[in-house]
Amino acid sequence: METIAARAATQPKKKSEKKSAAAAYCPVRDVLHHLSDKWSMLVIRELGTQPVLRFNELKGAVPGISQKMLTTTMRKLEQNGMVRRTVFPQIPPRVEYALTPLGHEFHGHLTKLMQWACNNSAQIVGSRARK
Amino acid sequence: METIAARAATQPKKKSEKKSAAAAYCPVRDVLHHLSDKWSMLVIRELGTQPVLRFNELKGAVPGISQKMLTTTMRKLEQNGMVRRTVFPQIPPRVEYALTPLGHEFHGHLTKLMQWACNNSAQIVGSRARK
DNA sequence: CCGAATCCAGCGGGATACTG
DNA sequence: CAGTATCCCGCTGGATTCGG
């Protein structure tokens, strides 16, 4: 894995690459940017538990999310190859969501991180209390 | 670890708890909320690589961050027990940042996730291209 | 049932200037 | 050097309404 510092150090000195080469692409930043919104990780968590969920099931599983944000989030996750979206053309409509293999891999890492967060949340919250 | 669904399922059916009991505390959501901003994870990554960094060293290591956001981010990470902040009362000022043991644990999990992100970014970006 | 389309408030966060 | 202090813009995302 490359660090940001290392990447910055290896940047050739092109003068005036359009508008400052601050756009140096970094895969970590890119992936992080697309997953660190308010709902993505929570949705992935639910889809990692349940193998397949319908729209309203997801909505019920993630308290507080609006239809708008759920739709937006699912579309983005689909774009990023994390989620497979299956539409059943019928009345009433039926849409099912499931993690892709890629999504499952991500969920594996995420799960450990969340488990850790759960175990240490007391200490984290405790840190906020002092001063 | 508790899932949101499980937590939601155990919610008693109080009708009209002020304004819907959406405030049900969830440690995962709490921790995620405090770490999924634009810069926190990137800073933690750098501090995981380097054992200790001064303010401007960090600023240089995370391209694009402003002093304002770096200060804000570091204060929040300190609040959450992720980072230890050491001030040397001298002129010119000198402030050093380092991960706490808690921060190192988090960094461990985060590193694996970022490594994965690096290895699969091509596939993720590829997914975005189609349609 | 699963959205799309608006409208709009809040705040994340960038630019800039000042301070000890 | 390592911050504060303002100003202010844009996007996130909540509420609501309409549609197939």
Q: Which protein residues have their Cβ less than 7 angstroms from some atom of strand C?
A: A 54-56, 67-68, 71, 74-75, 87, 92-95; B 37-39, 64-69, 91-93
pLDDT at B8 over 90: no
CA of A67 to C1' of C6 (A): 15
Specify burial of residue B51 (Cβ count, 10 A radius: 0-12, 13-18, 19+): exposed
Identify any residues that bridge with A121 across adjacent strands, giving them in sequence order: none
Q: How many CB pairs under 8 A join A and B?
A: 151
Distance between A92 CA and the closest CA of chain B, angstroms: 25
Residue of chain A minimizing CA distance to B23: A64
- pLDDT, mean over chain B: 84
Partner-chain contact B8 A125, CB within 8 Å: no
The residue behind tokens 């308290």 is A63
Provide mean pLDDT across the span B81-90.
Answer: 95
Q: Is A101 on the interface with B (CB under 8 A)?
A: no
Residues B25-66 pLDDT 10s: 889 999 999 999 999 999 999 999 999 999 999 999 999 999
pLDDT at B99 over 60: yes
Q: Please provide residue A65's backbone torsions phi and psi, each rounded to the nearest 5 degrees.
A: -80, 145
Q: What is the DSSP letter of B11?
A: -
Partner-chain contact A28 B60, CB within 8 Å: no
pLDDT at A1: 54
pLDDT at A126: 78
Determine the nucleotide nearest to A92 by Cα–C1' distance.
Answer: C1
- Going by C-beta distance under 8 Å and a sequence separation of 6 or more, which residues neighbour residue B18? none
Provide mean pLDDT across the span A14-40.
Answer: 72
Partner-chain contact B79 A128, CB within 8 Å: yes
In chain A, % of residues over pLDDT 70? 81
pLDDT at A128: 77
Protein-proximal positions, strand C, CB < 7 A: 1-6, 12-17, 20
> What does the alpha-carbon distance between residue B6 and residue A38 come to, in Å, rounded to a whole number?
20
CA of B125 to C1' of C17 (A): 40
Take residue A115 and report the two structure tokens written for it. Answer: 């488990």
Residues A50-109 pLDDT 10s: 999 999 999 999 999 999 999 999 999 999 999 999 999 998 999 999 999 999 999 999
Per the model's pLDDT, the better-predicted residue between A23 and B78 turns out to be: B78
